[in-house]
Amino acid sequence: MPFKALALILVLPALVACSTTSTPSSRDNGQAENLLQALNQWSPALEKHDTKPSDDLQALTSVRLENPAQAQALALRQSPAIRAILASQGIADAAYRQATLINNPGFSASALRAEDTGSWKTEFGLNLGILDWLTLPMRKQLAGAELSRARSQALQMLTEELGGVRIAYFSAVGARHLSRQLQQTAEAARLNAELAGQLNQAGNLSELERLQYVDASARQQQALQQALAEADARLAELKRSVGLGVSQQLEIPDELPDIVESGLTAATLQALLQHDEGFDTLLNQASAQRPDVRLLRDSRMALEQQLELQQKQLGMSEIGVGLITERESDGSRASGLELDLSLPVFDQGQHQRARSQAQLEQLSANEAMLQLAMVHQLETSLNNLLSLTRQATQLRDEDIPRQQRMLELTLQEYNFMLTGPFELIEAKQQELETVVRYIGILEHYWLEHANLMQHTANAAEAPVAESDSPAQPQRPAEPVHHQEHHHD
Amino acid sequence: MINRRQLLLGSAAGFVSASLGSQSSTVLASQIPSPSSANAANRPASANDLPYTPVVTPNGRTLPYRMRDGVKEFHLIAEEVEHEFAEGTRIKAWGYNGSTPGPTIEAVEGDRVRIYVTNRLGEPTTVHWHGLLLPFGMDGVAGLTQRAIPPGESWVYEFTLNQHGTHMYHPHSDEMLQMAMGMMGMFIIHPKQPESGPRIDRDFALLLHNWAIHPGTYRPDPSVMTDFDLWTINSRVFPAIAPLLAQTGERVRVRIGNLSMMNHPMHMHGVQFDVTGSDGGRWPQAQWRKEVTEIIGVGQTRDLEFTAVAGDWPLHCHMSHHTMNAMGHELPVTTGVNQGDLARQIRQMIPGYMAMGEHGMSEHQTHIDAGHMRGPENTLPMMGGRGAFGPMEMGGMFTLIKVRDQLDGDNDPGWYEPPRGTQAHRVDSVPADVPI
């Protein structure tokens, strides 16, 4: 099944569910809402025990991911961690339904035999908890709030998990990009060492000088091996985060996307940092949609309702009415009503209410703390992105072209026997090392961009231009490309 | 338009201020002259009437003068000039009257000379008359014999020439920099009495110098002390140095001065020359000595005389690096190294890379002449020049003395054709009994 279709399966029903599934409280629109709707959509599937990964995905031998959105889509379908989060919704939903039920009425029966007459005295009673009836609407509200809180909690976990997938994606692509670049750097050092060997063999270069070049080459090879191992480890982490098995191949792009694909220019970032309207919009968006904010808000609402319920219970933990009928041993019958209640003499529920009240205050403070943290997170993230944008732009537009020009000029000097072949190759190495620095900045940029998306609750949005043809899973029948590693 | 020369020769009054007003601070030097222009155009028009044979300054000229009340008046203008060592290398140099070296001053023993010096540089300067016997206050040493000439001012030196010989002039104010920038010239004093010994038919003045023009730059680096890029005769490098022309049997004198930072063993092909003089004048004939190579020490001059023999004979410094143009001096030796597939691998990484030097450096000029190896901007290839039989692979302090039985005036006679049977040739085999 093409992944585009998979994405539609994930999203469209969620939108439909939005109109058919009653939610405990009204929600803002946005991606977080979509995720929540997606969770709602997944719940029935869970009820049908459809929690196992798709067979067709399980059967895949090779998957190619072109961008982080595809990685997230795959994780939604395949990751056990995400399935566990989604499964928790079934628990929350059942708890909600359970909480909205009326307690079953109590039935009692007794039979007593008189010793002297040998006749039986029987007694039947039916009682029902009045308090249960009286507080049903309130309890429903409370359960709804609890369900909402559970969903927010799941949403937060899901968002974090998907954010983690994004980070794993860029880490893996970045490591791959770097290792490929270091292959060239190592190759340049190897060429220098080989040239030194030829010169030494011809009697033109001392053993000491030759060994210096060999040593430099060995260090570059070591750096390459480390980079390749790191690339393998990060690819494995990405596979784990999207739920692929060890035997399944995962193909990813060779290079990180350019920063322009984020759509964020230095000017935009600078304006945001000057707290223009855009900054407020981002902050409002984060306040409205961040799962952790929602979780706190839902927790507070649940607690408020719990407090209201406690106040309405007036400290009575139990009120029951009953219908009793007795047949005496002499055959006479008596029927009547029974009232059963706990008298709020000692425990009037005052401490429970005080506890709830304190919890409310704690939640309120936590909300304020989170609001403050959001501003700082946003500022820090924007600052980092601005700095990284400037560095990447300088490296891409100035430093690398400068190094290329320097190489060109060094070649001209080499042509006129003004400089030697070692210096020429070293000029190439300088250029390659500048590209290595660029890749490092690029990776930092995309990781910081992922952080920004987390901070602004856009974790599931695709920051980079999505491919028109998303991941094309390969069937076993098709040729399998083993492109995970390029050690050559 | 009146040029400086016409102005000096044609005006009797106020020429210093007039010439000051008519010149820009940077004067484009004349194009590299052909041998004819180098050897003839700068010869005074009345040369045949002179009691001496005037000097020819290849690629340069002789400074005109004007007589006033029995005094020969000259005018030197110290200024920035745009200079070309050879086609492909132009720099911002400093010189006199639009060129480096400055024009040759030529006079006769006993002359009273008045030399105006205008400073169009941005810093003070002086002129030191190297080797001349003159009053202390005319010696041109900044701070010692005079206050340095400030920018924009004109000063005058006046003295009587009490000697003859081959001399030089150069600044003695910020001397290291100003000389590195090209400020220098020859000062030739002919004897008052006819010289004893053979009469000179052709007299040439050559001034040796060194330049640090780093590849891709346009201004000399005065901080360099030994590792120079260009070694010049009259501020030109081969193959842009005009050849010295003579006719068979003529008596030729080559006056060589050295204001570089290194001694130069100047070697002449084809003849044993006589070393006949210096800044001490023409020596008594008994002191002459036969040589084929004469070291011209730093700050020294030497006169080399010979009777011309037909041919195109090299005259060059025998320090072989001095007959090269810009080259690296710390290159790894690639002789004997067949880079083979390694060169292909390097080329994959650096397109355009070419392995060089396996069998020597001779192939370098072949590549350069083929035009497929681009060098740095404003930089001459290490070697160049083509003769009648192929690449000469030379540069720097190398020129030719072209001698023919009959010259066509001062026109370049082209390449000498060795008479039949007098040229080396290929043989099919070497007799086995020739010992080795």
B217-247 pLDDT, tens digit per residue, is 999 999 999 889 999 999 999 999 999 999 9
DSSP secondary structure letters along B181-249: TT--EEEEEE-SSPPSSSPPSEEEEEEEEEE---TT-SS--TT-SS--SEEEETTB-BTSSPPEEEETT
Q: What is the pLDDT of residue A54?
A: 61
Kindly state the tokens that stand for A186: 């190592």
**DSSP alpha helix (H) spans, B261-420:** 340-349, 362-370
Integer Cα distance of A285 and B277 in angstroms: 96
Per-residue DSSP letter, B260? S
| Tokens 């090269």 belong to residue | B324
Q: What is the pLDDT of residue A461?
A: 52
CB contact under 8 A, A204 and B353: no
Which of A127, A452, A397 minimizes the C-alpha distance to A285?
A: A452
* Paired residues of A326 in beta bridges: A123, A334
Overall average pLDDT of the B1-23 stretch: 36
A409 contacts on B by Cβ (under 8 Å): 216, 376
Overall average pLDDT of the A21-32 stretch: 37
Integer Cα distance of B38 and B35 in angstroms: 5
What is the SS3 assignment for B336?
coil
Integer Cα distance of A76 and A159 in angstroms: 11
Instruction: Give the domain extent around A50.
Output: 3-328+335-343+367-455
Kindly state the tokens that stand for B301: 């001059």
Domain membership of residue A274 (yes or no) is yes
Identify which of A199, A409, A428 has the shortest CB distance to residue B376: A409
| Residue A184 distance to chain B (closest CA, Å) | 8
CB contact under 8 A, B350 and A424: yes
Domains and CATH numbers, chain B: 4-321 (2.60.40.420), 332-378 (no CATH)
The dihedrals phi and psi of B270, each to the nearest 5 degrees, come to: 90, -20
More confident of the two residues A117 and B58? B58
Looking at chain B, the whole-number percentage of residues with pLDDT higher than 90 is: 81
Per-residue pLDDT band for A288 (boundaries 50, 70, 90) equals confident
> Of chain A residues 155-184, which have a CB less than 8 A from chain B?
184
CB contact under 8 A, B342 and A425: no
Q: What is the pLDDT of residue A37?
A: 62
B332 contacts on A by Cβ (under 8 Å): 199, 204-205, 420-422
Domain membership of residue A180 (yes or no) is yes
Kindly state the tokens that stand for B391: 């690449």
Q: Three-class SS string for B75-89?
A: EEEEEEEEEEEECCE
Q: What is the pLDDT of residue B244?
A: 98
Overall average pLDDT of the B360-373 stretch: 86
| Residue A198 distance to chain B (closest CA, Å) | 6
A414 contacts on B by Cβ (under 8 Å): 353
Kindly state the tokens that stand for A198: 């030829």
Give which of B217, B228, B346 to mutate to test A binding, by max A Cβ within 10 Å: B346
| Residue B381 distance to chain A (closest CA, Å) | 6
| Residue A205 distance to chain B (closest CA, Å) | 7
Looking at chain A, the whole-number percentage of residues with pLDDT higher than 90 is: 45
Kindly state the tokens that stand for A403: 């190094």
Q: What is the pLDDT of residue A373?
A: 92
| Tokens 């039935």 belong to residue | A107
Integer Cα distance of A485 and A251 in angstroms: 9
B374 contacts on A by Cβ (under 8 Å): 412, 415
Integer Cα distance of A451 and A454 in angstroms: 5
| Residue A436 distance to chain B (closest CA, Å) | 16
**Is the N-terminal amide bond of B239 cis, ω within 30° of 0?**
yes
CB contact under 8 A, A425 and B349: yes
B336 contacts on A by Cβ (under 8 Å): 202-204
Which of B209, B220, B221, B304 minimizes the C-alpha distance to B262?
A: B209
pLDDT at A49 over 50: no
pLDDT at B383 over 50: yes
Integer Cα distance of B373 and A399 in angstroms: 26
A417-438 pLDDT, tens digit per residue, is 999 999 999 999 999 999 999 9
**DSSP alpha helix (H) spans, A290-349:** 291-312
Q: Which residue of B has its CA nearest to A199?
A: B337
Per-residue pLDDT band for A201 (boundaries 50, 70, 90) equals very high
> Of chain A residues 325-344, which have a CB less than 8 A from chain B?
none
Rounded to a whole number of angstroms, the distance between the first and last alpha carbons of chain B is 69
pLDDT at A236 over 70: yes
Q: Which helix (H) or strand (E) holds A88?
A: helix A80-99
Domain membership of residue A487 (yes or no) is no
Number of domains within chain A: 1
B376 contacts on A by Cβ (under 8 Å): 409, 412-413, 416, 418
Instruction: Sort residue A281 into left (φ over 0), alpha (ψ -120 to 50) or beta.
Output: alpha
CB contact under 8 A, B342 and A191: yes
Per-residue pLDDT band for A486 (boundaries 50, 70, 90) equals very low
Domain membership of residue A359 (yes or no) is no
Rounded to a whole number of angstroms, the distance between the first and last alpha carbons of chain A is 34
Write the CATH number for A228: 1.20.1600.10
Per-residue pLDDT band for A104 (boundaries 50, 70, 90) equals confident
Domain membership of residue A233 (yes or no) is yes
CB contact under 8 A, B349 and A424: no
Which of A85, A71, A86 minimizes the C-alpha distance to A7?
A: A71
Lowest mean pLDDT among B303-307, B316-320, B347-351, B363-367: B363-367
A407 and chain B: CB distance < 8 Å anywhere? Answer: yes
Integer Cα distance of B137 and B156 in angstroms: 11
A260-280 pLDDT, tens digit per residue, is 999 999 999 999 999 888 888
Overall average pLDDT of the B49-55 stretch: 86
Q: What is the pLDDT of residue A215?
A: 98
Q: What is the pLDDT of residue A141?
A: 82
B100-144 pLDDT, tens digit per residue, is 999 999 999 999 999 999 999 999 999 999 999 999 999 999 999
Q: What is the pLDDT of residue A432?
A: 97
Per-residue pLDDT band for B26 (boundaries 50, 70, 90) equals very low
Domain membership of residue A158 (yes or no) is yes
pLDDT at B12 over 80: no
Q: Beta-carbon neighbour count of residue A284 at 10 Å?
A: 12
Chains A & B: contacts with CB separation below 8 Å: 96
Q: What is the pLDDT of residue A275?
A: 86
Q: What is the pLDDT of residue A470?
A: 34
Which of B124, B354, B85 minimizes the C-alpha distance to B237?
A: B85
B146-171 pLDDT, tens digit per residue, is 999 999 999 999 999 999 999 999 99
| Tokens 């340049």 belong to residue | A188
| Positive or negative torsion for Cα B339, B344, B345, B348 | positive
Integer Cα distance of B122 and A107 in angstroms: 118
Which of A43, A161, A125, A163 minimizes the C-alpha distance to A91?
A: A43
Q: What share of chain A is helix, strand, coil (3-state, %, to 5)?
A: 65, 10, 25
Instruction: Sort residue B97 into left (φ over 0), alpha (ψ -120 to 50) or beta.
Output: left
Task: Please return the burial class of B263, using the count of CB atoms within 10 Å of its CB with bins 0-12, 13-18 and 19+.
Answer: middle
CB contact under 8 A, B330 and A414: no
